[in-house]
Structure 1
Amino acid sequence: MTVRVLFLSEGSSDQGLVSHVEGIAADQGVPVTVSAPDLRWLRSAVGHSVSDKLRAARELGGPYDVAVVQRDADNGPPEVRKAEITEAVHTQWPGLAHVPVVPVRMLEAWLLLDEQAIREVAGNPRGRVPLDLPKPTSVERIADPKQRLKETLAKASGCKGRRLTELQQRFPRNRHRLLDLLDRDGPVGEIPSWRTFVSDLTVALNGF
């Protein structure tokens, strides 16, 4: 059986997680097809809430076995986001299995650990400036992982002036590239929220 997965992300740049959903499924020997509709292209504007996105995805049609829904914890406990996702699924799509993906505090925390990937994306793969990257055990306690990632990419690039401004303007693209390069067997495996994501997805996929 091929498991049909609906992937809904918090933002378009988070859709790089699709390849990791596929990779985790492959590790389990479970064939999947993953659909990640870009709801921004719908004629009617779609709200930002999980309920809004689920409603729009359901209206688009297509049978699914499980929904993988990503929502950053931000400044609250991850349990609040998980409850929000569960309630939205039960309300908008009763009976659909679901897997919440809740990075703490933001998905950028998952991207702050791979020094070589950061240097490559920053355009200076042989750079030697110390980046002072956080440890996996403490990265989820960083107050603003997105700002920390921006600063780390800037430091790794060695750019100044206009070149630095151009680098900062490319942050959404660079963030997406870092997500593509994320090594599932690397340091991210020590982050609790990532381990929970992998575990929950594994359990869901093996239930079919």
Structure 2
Amino acid sequence: MKTILAYGDSLTYGANPTGGTRHAYQDRWPSVLEAGLDGQARVIAEGLGGRTTASDDWYAAADRNGARILPTLLESHGPLDLVIIMLGTNDLKPAVCGSALEASYGMRRLVQIIRGQAAGKGETAPEILLVAPPLICQSENVDMMGHFGGYAHGLEQSGQFAAHYARRAEELDTLFFDAATVAQADPEDGVHLNAANTRAIGEALVPVVRQVLGL
């Protein structure tokens, strides 16, 4: 059986845009992906709200720096056949980073960590899939929009994810998928996904993962 690590933020955690609840287990995209692989792979969901690619968020209680915690997770969950990374939305917060381009550099750092750790142990590195997150949309949620420097900034920068991440994927010879082609943020808060859009990401990734892992 293959082992896949789904590494992300609240969109991987399954945060519900209508409140502080979490989507049901079966509606989270890692769960949907695993179900679609018909028992041929196990998908480990590592989603943390507020997680960035490689930047510190000093307002957060837990460590949100994705680059700092990743080596520990690679050790605890390995060996891995595939790592799917869907991060970058929280990087767009001006207080954290503010730029989709810089987020793509953070994704590059995560790829380097995965491959460097495998090389250091003399192991074959897992396949890596970079996923551009869905776009931020307009919302009346003043606090959420404020986190992202206002709707205009959030929309502009999230709209650049696909181009920057596709370029990093080509540069680093990884796989690439644009989640914005299948999922849209909920206007309730402009960032998080309803259950249907969360499931849509898992469903869309099934054929991609089947192909790369030969399932």
**TM-score normalised to structure 1 length:** 0.46
**Which is helix-richer, 1 or 2?**
1
Using structure 2 for the length normalisation, give the TM-score.
0.45
Q: Which has the larger radius of gyration?
A: 1
